[in-house]
A and B are shown apart, each in its own frame.
Chain A
Amino acid sequence: MSASDELRPQDEARRDGVIHPEVLAGNDESERGQDGRRLQHAEGASRPISAGALSPKAPREPQPRGAKIRGDRPIDQAEAAERFLAAPMHQKAHDARLWDLRTKRDTAAFGIPEWEELRELASQIKTHTLANLDRYLEEFEARAKANGVHVHWAADGAEHNRIVHGILKDHGAKSLIKSKSMLTEECGFRHYMAGTGIEVIETDLGERIQQLDNEEPSHVVVPAVHKTRFDVAEVFSRTMGTDPENDDAHYLAESQRMHTRPLILEADAGLTGCNFAIAETGTVVTCTNEGNADLSGNVPKLQIHSIGIEKLIPRIEHLGVFLRLLSRSALGSPITQYTSHFRAPRKGTEMHMVLVDNGRSERLGMEEFWTSLKCIRCGACMNTCPVYRRSGGLSYGATYSGPIGLIIDPTFNKRKYSTLPFSSTMNGSCTNVCPVKINIHEQIFAWRKVLAEEHQIPLLKQGMMKAAGQVLSRPATYRAAIGAADSALKVLPRFAVYNPLNTWGKGREMPEAPRQTFHAWYKQNRMAKAGGKKTEGIK
């Protein structure tokens, strides 16, 4: 999936002779959910989302770029989000596209009566696995070795990169094709490889767009979702020489395929990430819609799989639970087009697996945050997040964006990502869509406490809260602060919304102050009268 965001339904002419008539007529029982309703397969059912005027002469809105990265200094997500909002064509298309995914997710999830039980089961399997991770990792390693796989262990991202680079060097590889992997993004693998003379080619369409544009993925499943067709046409014309005026999605996808396919067929090595690693069989399972993990794994004679150690599940029988949840949560489709099991090297080839920690063991020891390791990277929390949909994933300035990013990123760098847990209204929708039941919004709340205690929040903010706490805990001071009786407006709009910079009034009208506070009304109407419990008809 994960391509240019303007997916058009195939026109009828193209469908003729390609799709079985029974499917077209909607009579195929396999196309129905358990409740008998026809399933909306994510891609086919996508509504075309206009990114603005159709006229080719219309001015094109430049793509807003992500958060400014300045070393370890805290990311200003609000600033980047404001720039995203200042590009209304992009923001509108982004919001519509991701809300469409949320809607499809609901339809797919509600088509399964036992959906909530499945979530609970998946959560429990992950709890069990993480509680026994050492044992399952050793079992996985032993099985993989018995299958003829070379197994490596990497303590952090740098070690992962050195190991993979070492394998490639040993084989004299000059080019590497890889499928989408958030773990390799986390390790900064592509940046590392840029200095080695070995060419890395992303095979996922969305990820390839991002690579060609020298940008990070903005979403874990649809990495270029913040771009419009126009943006992709611009990137492809600049990097592959396509027609800059032609932003037809099929033309762009086909051009990219023609450009990249020869590189894939001639590559010396392939690398994939891992959706699930099965301990009892030593198998790596990948789930894609483009089949690009299969190309990366099956075409070159040298294949490497990078695996975050939290990807383990104990047995093959557990896989079905997660497969039923993954694509329904991500895209609203029953399953990904390709679910591939990599177990042993093909004849005459070599297979490596790199098990990567990169902070996971430490996170496992964090009482309030360890369950974030259950994440299966479906992106449902991003799709449902009203802040994410209006900010764009790049505004977070981190590998992981959206709700799951807010609770994972600070484990990598507490100072740099100290602001992210505040980029949330803590509305809780993320927790409810999470297929493995991570209490995301509660962890966002818990992170704020940790960050305040460790003085990783701005002094201004903490100072304001200290002042507020002092006033709010002293009734007489509080009453004096908001005005003796009827003049609440003078102090309250500033005070009540804790607003020294008048950011409230920037986008909103101020509330009108009433004649008197409830407090003053009560004093006048209920306390002044002896035993007065009668109300003076107030409207």
Chain B
Amino acid sequence: MRIGLFVPCYVDAFEPEVGIATLELLERFGLDVDYPFDQTCCGQPMTNTGCHAEAAATEALFVKNFAPFDYVVAPSGSCVHQVREHLTAIPQTDEVKAVRAKTFELVEFLHDILKVEEFPWAEFPHRVGYHGNCNALRGIHHARPSELNAPFFSKPLDLLKKVKGIEIVAPARPDECCGFGGTFSVFEPAVSAKMGYDKVSDHAQAGAEYVVSADSSCMMHQKGCAERIGVPLKFIHIARILNGATA
């Protein structure tokens, strides 16, 4: 099984350790993982802003980079949602459709494709609050959103519960958006920051020591908000915990 690793641009630049953890974790399961060296971005900043024509060349590059693989895996629900649902600025050839269909977010890849039963190397003796990115939650169905009258499930919590020593605490508003929203964070900064302040305060009140998420983008925003208002929270990507990081 050949896996193409997609490392989103902000992970590449700001949280390289998340890319490294994702690579190492996949390799722990004996997978053949490649990082196509010419990769850049999934095109989301442009399509999110309505500028589909401006995203076309970036989308074509993504498809060119990842067409050769059996699966594409990325440590970001938001980018995977873009690829799966919104990579439509270029003609939908069989190749494009195939890449879109075989692109998976790390948590769902571990949970649904590899069906991982245990992470014997993982131990995280801390109280954590989980933050579900909205695209991961409602776009690619990581978990049952709180609005729906349906049986509860959560793929990221299923995985985290296999980690030794971890304690999970729930904020009062479990799926309230943290206000990142891609370009929303810079075009509507006041509301975005206020949502972030409220989010990190909610996690702190629930007793969390760490906020854990499958998306670095939300956490980059929340970390900036927490530091600004002095909420002593730490942030860590789920890939690092599952790969055995202890702090």
The answer to whether A513 and B14 have CB atoms under 8 Å apart is yes
**Residue-wise interface mask of A (83-121) relative to B, using a CB-CB cutoff of 8 A (1 in contact, 0 not):** 001000001000100010000001001101101100000
Contact A469 B175 (CB under 8 A): no
**Minimal Cβ-Cβ distance residue in A for B247:** A539
Most A CB within 10 A of own CB, among B53, B189, B220: B189
**Chain A residues in contact with chain B, CB under 8 A?**
77-78, 81-82, 85, 91, 95, 99, 106, 109-110, 112-113, 115-116, 384, 386-387, 390-391, 421-429, 431-433, 441, 445, 447-453, 457, 461-462, 465-466, 468-470, 472-473, 475, 478, 482, 488, 492, 496-499, 501, 503-504, 506-514, 516-523, 526-527, 533, 535, 538-539
The prevalent SS among residues of B at the interface is helix
**Secondary structure of the A contact surface, majority rule:** helix
From known contacts A425-B181, A427-B181, A521-B16, infer whether A472 and B52 are also in contact, taking CB-CB under 8 Å: no
Give which listed residue, B24, B43, B195, B245, contacts A472 with CB less than 8 A. Answer: B43
Instruction: Kindly state whether residue B55 has any CB partner on chain A within 8 Å.
Output: yes
**Complex CA distance for A391 and B191, rounded to whole angstroms:** 7
**Chain A residues with CB below 8 A from B7, complex form:** 518-519
Q: Are A506 and B191 in contact (CB under 8 A)?
A: no
Chain B 1-42 interface mask (CB, 8 Å, partner A; 1/0): 000000101111111111110011001000000010111110
Q: Are A452 and B50 in contact (CB under 8 A)?
A: yes
CB distance from B178 to the nearest CB of A (A): 8
Known: A78-B191, A110-B149, A511-B220. A465 touches B49 (CB 8 A): yes
Task: Report chain B residues within 8 Å CB of A507.
Answer: 189-190, 192-194, 196, 225, 228
Known: A85-B194, A112-B149, A526-B35. A431 touches B138 (CB 8 A): yes
From B43, B53, B179, B220, contact of A425 by CB (8 A)? B179
State the Cβ distance, B241 to closest chain A Cβ, in Å.
13
Which of B15, B38, B50 lies in contact with A451, CB distance below 8 A?
A: B50
B125: Cβ under 8 A from any A Cβ:
no
Contact A449 B191 (CB under 8 A): no
Interface residue B145 (Cβ < 8 Å from any Cβ of A) = yes
List residues of chain B with CB within 8 A of the CB of A520: 16
- Of the A-B pairs whose beta carbons lie under 8 Å apart in the complex, a sample of 7, sorted by A's number, is A386-B195, A469-B57, A472-B45, A503-B189, A510-B224, A522-B37, A538-B20
Q: Which of B185-244 contact A (CB under 8 A)?
A: 185-196, 198, 220-221, 223-225, 227-228
Of A425, A473, A508, A512, the residue contacting B134 (CB under 8 A) is A425
Q: Is the CB of B38 within 8 A of A469?
A: no
Residue of A116, A492, A504 touching B14 (CB-CB under 8 A)? A492
Task: Tell whether A468 pairs with B46 under 8 Å between CB atoms, given A509-B228, A518-B12.
Answer: yes
Q: A78 CA to B184 CA in the complex, in Å?
A: 10
Return A440 CB to nearest CB of chain B, in Å. Answer: 12
CA distance A424 to B184 in the complex (A): 7
Contact B223 A511 (CB under 8 A): yes
Residues A533 and B27 in contact, CB atoms below 8 Å apart: yes
Contact (Cβ within 8 A) A508 B228? yes
Count chain B CB atoms within 10 A of each CB in A492, A496, A499, A501 and give the residue with the most: A496
Residues of B within 8 A of A109 (CB): 149
Interface string of B49-84 (1 = CB under 8 A from A): 111111111101100000000000000000000000
Number of interface residues of B (CB under 8 A): 82
Q: Does B146 have its Cβ within 8 Å of any Cβ on chain A?
A: yes
Give complex CA distance A106, B53 in Å: 40
Residues of chain A within 8 A of B46, CB atoms compared: 465, 468-469, 472
Does B148 lie at the interface of the complex (its beta carbon under 8 Å from any beta carbon of A)? yes
Question: B138 touching A428 by the CB < 8 A rule?
Answer: yes
- For residue B170, CB closer than 8 A to chain A, the reply is no
Partner of B173, one of A99, A112, A453, A504: A99
What residue of chain B has the Cβ atom nearest to residue A448's Cβ? B50
CB distance from B211 to the nearest CB of A (A): 15
- Tell me the complex Cα distance, A81–B189, Å: 10
Chain A: minimal CB distance from B124 (Å): 13
Contacts of B191 in A (CB 8 A): 78, 81-82, 85, 387, 390-391, 423
Tell me if B164 is interfacial: C-beta within 8 Å of chain A: no
Enumerate chain B residues within 8 angstroms of A457, measured Cβ to Cβ.
Answer: 49-50
Q: A503-B187, A539-B17 are in contact. List 10 more A-B contacts (CB 8 A).
A: A78-B191, A386-B195, A422-B184, A422-B187, A425-B179, A469-B54, A503-B189, A510-B224, A519-B37, A522-B35
CA of A539 to CA of B243, assembled, Å: 10
Report whether B24 and A535 are in contact in the complex, using a CB–CB cutoff of 8 Å.
Answer: yes
Q: Indicate if the CB atoms of A432 and B220 lie closer than 8 Å.
A: no
Q: Are B134 and A427 in contact (CB under 8 A)?
A: yes
| Contacting pair B190 A469 (CB below 8 A) | no
**C-alpha spacing A497/B173, complex, angstroms:** 27
Q: Nearest Cβ in chain A — how far from B84, in angstroms?
A: 14
Which residues on A sit within 8 Å (CB–CB) of B227?
508-509
CB-defined contacts of B177 to chain A, threshold 8 Å: 386, 425, 427, 429
In the A-B complex, the 8 residue pairs with the smallest Cβ-Cβ separation, listed nearest first, are A507-B193, A425-B181, A448-B50, A508-B224, A473-B57, A452-B50, A432-B147, A518-B19
Interface residues of B in 75-108 (CB under 8 A from A): 86
How far, in whole Å, are A423 and B188 apart by their CA atoms in the complex? 7
Neighbouring B residues of A521 by C-beta, 8 Å: 16, 19-20
B45 touches A465 (CB 8 A): yes
B167 at the interface (CB under 8 A from A): no
User: In the complex, are the beta carbons of B224 and A387 less than 8 A apart?
Assistant: no
- The answer to whether A429 and B147 touch (CB under 8 A), given A81-B191, A472-B40, A507-B228, is yes
Is there an interface contact between B221 and A514, defined as CB atoms closer than 8 Å? Answer: no
Is B130 part of the binding interface, using a Cβ–Cβ cutoff of 8 Å? no
Closest CB of chain A to B177's CB: distance in Å?
4
Residues of the A chain whose Cβ atoms lie less than 8 Å from the Cβ of B11: 518
Task: Provide the bound-state CA to CA distance between A226 and B224, in Å.
Answer: 29
Task: Name the distance in Å between B47's Cβ and chain A's nearest Cβ.
Answer: 8
Would you call A482 and B13 a contact (CB within 8 A)? yes
